[in-house]
Structure 1
Amino acid sequence: MRYYLDTNVLIFFLLDNDQLSTDVFEIINDYSNSFYVSSIVVKEIIHLHKRGIIKESRFKTANDILSAIKKAGIEIKPLNEYHLIKYAEMIIPVHEHNDPNDHVIIAQAISDQMPIVSSDHQFKHYTHQGLNFIFNKR
């Protein structure tokens, strides 16, 4: 099966962090599954690294993070016109969830008809719009 990973889950995965739930750990360790991240997720991680929020010694540069994503076999999916059309059509519950990066990541997952794994409970607000959401309960 194919899965999108959200920013938080990708960070936990790359850092060999114990913040992955048992269910998500099993999904990630199933070699028959394929994993993808939005280019927006990569942008967020590079931004966090440049701000010093990701302080992992093996990630001295942002390129080290890109290399780790590639080495893990995770494909970076660029945004396309269909993703932006879905984003434009989405109903955004602004009072509950005001993160435009997340909105685009969600639109991409809906458009590509792939489940997304995230620790962000706000993603549940989009299941009625077609999001297949797998919650990583930490």
Structure 2
Amino acid sequence: MRVLLDTHALLWFLLDDPKLSRVARDVIANAQHRPEVSPASYWEIAIKISLGKYELREPLGAFMDRELADNDIRILPILPRHAAALTDLPFHHRDPFDRLIIAQAMVEGIPVVSTDPLFDPYPVRRIWERRIS
């Protein structure tokens, strides 16, 4: 099963942060699942680092290249059909990064690993506390 990681889920998994739920960790680490990340996530991280809201112990590029490869996390490119889905997406969620992640998940028909309940009004499955198969 393919799963799309929200930005916090990606970071919490890569940094082994206890804020990541056990269910989310198990889904991401399961060899039968294929975790994917949107470029919106590493763009969001870069902006937070540049604003001083987040800090890594190494340059972002080196961190992301190594961690994505080591954890077999694939990049889901932003395609025109993903951007097109944003034109009709209701504004239940106003964060532009999350809106793009939601649009990608909707178009691809894949669940999102996220703690954010603002994803729930959209037609995407959100994985956090409950297991799905």
- TM-score surpassing 0.5? yes
Aligned to 2:108: 112
Q: Summarize the Cα distance change of 1:99–1:136 in structure 2 as closer, same or farther, 3 Å threshold.
A: farther
Q: Summarize the Cα distance change of 1:131–1:81 in structure 2 as closer, same or farther, 3 Å threshold.
A: same
- Alpha-carbon distance between aligned partners in 1 of 2:44 and 2:69, rounded to the nearest angstrom: 16
Of residues 114, 125, 130, the one that matches 1:132 is 125
- Alpha-carbon distance between aligned partners in 2 of 1:65 and 1:47, rounded to the nearest angstrom: 15
**Alignment of structure 1 residues 1-138 onto 2, 5 Å:** 1-57=1-57, 60-67=58-65, 68-93=67-92, 97-126=93-122, 130-135=123-128
Q: Partner of 2:4: helix, strand, or coil?
A: strand
* Contact 1:82–1:111 (Cα < 8 Å) also in 2: yes
* Contact 1:5–1:118 (Cα < 8 Å) also in 2: yes
- Alpha-carbon distance between aligned partners in 2 of 1:110 and 1:26, rounded to the nearest angstrom: 22
- The CA RMSD over aligned residues, in Å, is 1.7
* Contact 1:36–1:75 (Cα < 8 Å) also in 2: yes
Q: For structure 1, which runs of at least 5 residues remain unmatched after alignment?
A: none
Q: For structure 2, which runs of at least 5 residues remain unmatched after alignment?
A: none
Q: Partner of 1:56: helix, strand, or coil?
A: coil
